[in-house]
Structures are given as structure tokens and as C-alpha cells.
Amino acid sequence: MSERRARASTVDKRNRLLDATEEIMLRDGYAAVSSRSVAARVGINPPLVHYYFATIDDLFVAVLRRRSLRNVARMAEALAAAEPLTQWWRLASDPRGSALFIELIAAANHRPALRAEVGEVAREVREMQIERLRSLLPEYGIDPEAIAPALVAAAMQGLAFGLVQDQGAGYDTATADAAAGMNRLLSRLEQRRAAAVSGS
């Protein structure tokens, strides 16, 4: 077998293990992830999981890194879109992506290596959001001195995570009303921005 084919096989096996880990986390929570549960889902022997990921911490970190690479790119696209706040909200409130990050954050409370990675990803994304909001907020008619970009970023992300968490848990916290209200607010803001941009 050629080196290229062996390398492709390794990448494929790693991706299957990461996919399986994500599915377990979404279905049963991060605490259900073990070499045995991941191996069973992929159809391999448990010791083989540790051939690709030395520890479960390494597995969690790899899940986070793969997911964060995608999300950083998608966040950059959202913030550059024609309706940036609306696209950001759609990304942040995506049930699958948000639910997975909620599980990773919960796991990070008990795993120092993962906690450091989560913190770095959160810092990178928040810096991107704040930097873009400095120029975006005036376009929406919002004074960034009165309503700080950091506040807007935290509110957007926090509300999205809260709604996804409550919906996933089945809590009766008027999540549908809150989401509908956010969509109406964003629609008005996007209309205001479009009018201001077209009139300038």
C-alpha cells in the first residue's frame, strides 16, 4: 500500500472516530464518550481508538479543533454577508453546532487540556466578532460607545446558547417566543442598515 493511501486511510479513520464522538455527545452527553462507546459506534476494537488518540482528552480536543476551524470560517463569512447580524444569529443558534459546543464547554470544566483549548477558541472568535462590530454597529444606527461591541457579541452568543440548551432539555422557557422576537429585531435592524447604506 502506498504512503499516500495509508495517510488517506488514517485521516478517514480519524474522521470516523471524531464523527462518532460528536454523535455520542449530542445524543448522550460528553460523559458517555469512552474508548469503548466510540469504538462500538465505528465498529473497531477499543484499543484502536487510542492508536489515533492517546487519551480521551486528546479525542475531545480534536473534536473541538475540527469543529472550531469550520465555525471560525463560517463566522467570518457571516460577518461579511449582506445581512451580517442575521447570518451570525443563524450560525449561533444552529441547534447541532451550539449543542455540541455546550457539551464541549461542560466537558472542559473537568478536563484542563480541553479547557485551555475552549478558552483559546472562544477568545479568537470573540475578538473577530468585536472587531467587526466596531464598524458594523454604526451602520445599524447603534452607537458602539453607548452599546459596546463586547456586550452585543456576548448577548448574541449567550442568548443563542441559552435557547439551544433549553430547547434540547425540553424546558418550558418560551424559547420559541424569544427566537421569534430576535428574528423580528434583526429584520428591523437589517432594514435600517440597508436603508442607511443605500442612502449614503
| Contact yes or no for 78/91 (Cβ under 8 A) | yes
* Nearest residue to 186 via CA among 88, 86, 93: 86
Phi/psi at 146 (5° precision)? -85, -40
Q: pLDDT tens for residues 178-194?
A: 999 999 999 999 999 99
Q: Which fold does the domain 56-199 belong to in CATH?
A: Tetracycline Repressor; domain 2 (1.10.357)
Range 1-54 has CATH code 3.40.50.970: no
Stretch 153-165: mean pLDDT: 94
Q: What's the rounded Cα separation, in Å, for the pair 39 and 72?
A: 29
Alpha helices in 82-111 (DSSP H): 84-92, 95-108
- Grid cell, residue 159, equals 442568548
How high is the mean pLDDT of the chain?
A: 93
Q: pLDDT tens for residues 27-54?
A: 999 999 999 999 999 999 999 999 999 9
pLDDT at 200: 61
Residues of CATH 1.10.10.60 domain(s) within the chain? 1-54
Q: What's the rounded Cα separation, in Å, for the pair 2 and 17?
A: 23
3-state secondary structure of 29: coil
| Contact yes or no for 101/67 (Cβ under 8 A) | yes
Residues of CATH 1.10.357 domain(s) within the chain? 56-199
- Looking at the predicted structure, is the pLDDT value of residue 117 above 80? yes
- Angle, CA of 155, 121 and 101, to the nearest 5°: 65
Please count the other Cβ atoms lying within 10 Å of the Cβ belonging to residue 190. Answer: 17
Between 134 and 8, residue with greater pLDDT = 134
